Amino acid sequence: MKKDLKYNLIDLRSKTAKDVKEDFKRFYDEWIFTWEGMMTTEENLKAIVKELKLDNPTFYVYSGKQMNSVYRLKGSNAYPNDLDFLSIEDFQNPAAKIRYGARWFTDIVDNNRRHNY
């Protein structure tokens, strides 16, 4: 029997920087599993669910523009405004993070803070 690949997608891209700041704080505090530049098509999300054997995960998608605004990224450290970020709630798998090129949201933010000039 084929498993139904279900997921929840919360699209934060329409939120202002002020409104998304609370979400980003939670992502930072929870070390949320994150990809920079991940395609967020239904096909891709279902492939992630299947590959990582996730049971109805919650994904969050947000933009480089929001990251730039909230963390005041500039110059070569700024993201393209239309770059999508994809995070998975309640998924803490270091081996999968390395294997699939993801990072902890906390590491992304801390790295940007160290290199933002």
Would you list the DSSP string of 51-106? Answer: HTT-SS-EEEEEEHHHHHHHHT--GGGSPPTT-EEEEETT---HHHHHHTT-EEHH
Is the entire prediction scored with pTM above 0.85?
yes
3-state secondary structure at position 8:
strand
pLDDT of residue 91: 95
- Pick from 16, 6, 2: nearest CA to 59: 6
Chain segment 79-115, per-residue pLDDT in tens: 999 999 999 999 999 999 999 999 999 999 999 888 7
pLDDT of residue 3: 65
Mean pLDDT, the chain, integer: 93
Q: Six-digit token pair at 42?
A: 């239904």
pLDDT band at 27 (very low <50, low <70, confident <90, very high): very high
pLDDT of residue 14: 96
Q: Is 104 left (phi over 0), alpha (psi -120 to 50) or beta?
A: beta
pLDDT band at 1 (very low <50, low <70, confident <90, very high): very low
Instruction: Tell me the pairing of strands 8-11 and 84-88.
Output: unpaired
pLDDT of residue 4: 77
